């Protein structure tokens, strides 16, 4: 089937893996306002998204549905993704948005919980990402947007497990982007800093804290430009360019709690 991007390049169909994500939903709302007509939210509890789906239909989406998806159940990923592509024929954009933050103080004493977070954030991302990549390659177009994090750019001692999972996911997504070169399918890596969302509820904001709506704007801008990496807010690119170079003993002091 031919590409369904409209004449001005807008996204017309989107699948979200981690369909309840505040960052992904803010992005999808922007896309529906911009004439995206098909939305599939894949989530652990699809029934909890009825209100969101109704709002998306009210905002103009012709099709807005939820399907069951568990990032930890890697054996199910190919089928979930294949079913969505088979039912809708063509998907312009897939947001890989699931993730858990966890608490490093707990992880220090609970390696099993740490491994579970790594399974969700990294192992699930690898499996779901490859399932999506196969479909995008087959249709010859489309973009996979992977929500990484600045936490993976230089891993902090006080956020060790989460940061390491994001470093792994970021590396996977960047390599996948190279592997898909020339196929028409693309990967865009998004590296937000601290964003006010369910994930960070009750936490003290970090410097450069931002909103899901601002991240959505950065994602849409990145898609329009054909960017491979998006920082949200954009100033974090420069900040982390410097932080990457900070000598290890200084970084150790900065990132310990
Ligand atoms: N918020 C930030 O400051 C920030 C910064 C940098 C990067 N990020 C990344 O951006 C992405 C979106 O984060 P967010 O802020 O939108 O957080 P969020 O609102 O908490 O969304 C995360 C979503 O992941 C889903 N999820 C967790 N485990 C899952 C599993 N096993 N299977 C399926 N879904 C699962 C959650 O589902 P339930 O609704 O069922 O819990 C939730 O809907 C995440 O990858 C996060 O790591 C966030």
Q: Using one digit for the tens of pLDDT, what is the confidence trace for 15-32?
A: 999 999 999 999 999 999
Ligand 1 atom 45: the closest Cα is on which residue? Answer: 99
Q: What DSSP line would sit under 128-168, residue for residue?
A: HHHHHHHHHHHHT-EEEEEE--GGGTS--GGGHHHHHHHHH
Task: Report phi then psi at 112, rounded to 5.
Answer: -70, -40
Ligand 1 atom 20: the closest Cα is on which residue? Answer: 199
Percent of the chain with pLDDT over 70: 96
- For residues 151 and 149, what is the distance between their CA atoms, to the nearest angstrom? 5
Q: Is 252 a catalytic residue?
A: no
Q: Are strands 142-147 and 93-96 parallel, antiparallel or unpaired?
A: parallel
Give the sign of the dihedral formed by CA 213, CA 217, CA 220, CA 223.
negative
Ligand 1 atom 47: the closest Cα is on which residue? Answer: 99
Q: List the chain domain ranges.
A: 13-255
Please tell me the predicted confidence (pLDDT) of residue 9: 62
Q: Which long-range contacts (CB under 8 A, 24 or more apart) does 248-252 make?
A: 251/154, 252/157
Please tell me the predicted confidence (pLDDT) of residue 10: 82
Which tens digits make up the pLDDT trace of 170-194? 999 999 999 999 999 999 999 999 9
CATH superfamily of 13-255: NAD(P)-binding Rossmann-like Domain (3.40.50.720)
Atom number, ligand 1, closest to the C-alpha of residue 19: 43
Contact 150, 100 (CB under 8 A): no
Take residue 178 and report the two structure tokens written for it: 């190279």
Please tell me the predicted confidence (pLDDT) of residue 7: 44
Q: Which residues of 173-189 are buried (b: 16+ CB within 10 A; e: fewer)?
A: bbebbeebeeeebbbbb
Residues with CB under 6 A from ligand 1: 18, 20-23, 43-45, 69-72, 97-100, 120, 147, 149, 192, 194-195, 197-200
Residue 62 has pLDDT above 50, yes or no: yes
Please tell me the predicted confidence (pLDDT) of residue 170: 98
Q: How far apart are the first and last CA of the chain?
A: 53
């Amino acid at each position: 089937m031919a590409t369904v991007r409209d004449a001005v390049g807008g996204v017309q169909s989107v699948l979200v893996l981690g369909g309840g994500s505040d960052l992904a939903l803010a992005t999808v709302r922007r896309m529906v306002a911009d004439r995206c007509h098909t939305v599939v939210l894949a989530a652990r509890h699809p029934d909890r998204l009825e209100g969101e789906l109704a709002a998306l239909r009210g905002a103009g989406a012709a099709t807005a549905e939820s399907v069951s998806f568990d990032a930890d159940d890697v054996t199910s990923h190919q089928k979930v993704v294949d079913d969505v592509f088979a039912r809708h024929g063509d998907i312009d954009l897939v947001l890989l948005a699931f993730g858990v933050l966890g608490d490093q103080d707990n992880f220090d004493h609970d390696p099993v919980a740490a491994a579970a977070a790594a399974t969700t954030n990294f192992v699930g991302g690898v499996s779901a990402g490859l399932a999506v990549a196969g479909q995008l390659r087959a249709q010859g177009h489309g973009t996979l947007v992977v929500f990484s994090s600045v936490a993976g750019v230089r891993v902090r001692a006080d956020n060790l497990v989460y940061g390491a999972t994001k470093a792994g996911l970021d590396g996977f997504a960047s390599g996948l982007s190279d592997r898909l070169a020339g196929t028409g399918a693309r990967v865009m890596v998004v590296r937000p800093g601290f964003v006010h969302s369910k994930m960070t509820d009750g936490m003290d904001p970090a410097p450069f804290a931002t909103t899901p709506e601002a991240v959505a704007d950065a994602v849409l801008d990145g898609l329009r430009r054909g960017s491979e990496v998006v920082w949200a807010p954009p100033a974090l690119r420069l900040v982390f360019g410097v932080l990457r170079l900070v000598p290890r003993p200084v970084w150790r002091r900065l990132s310990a709690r």
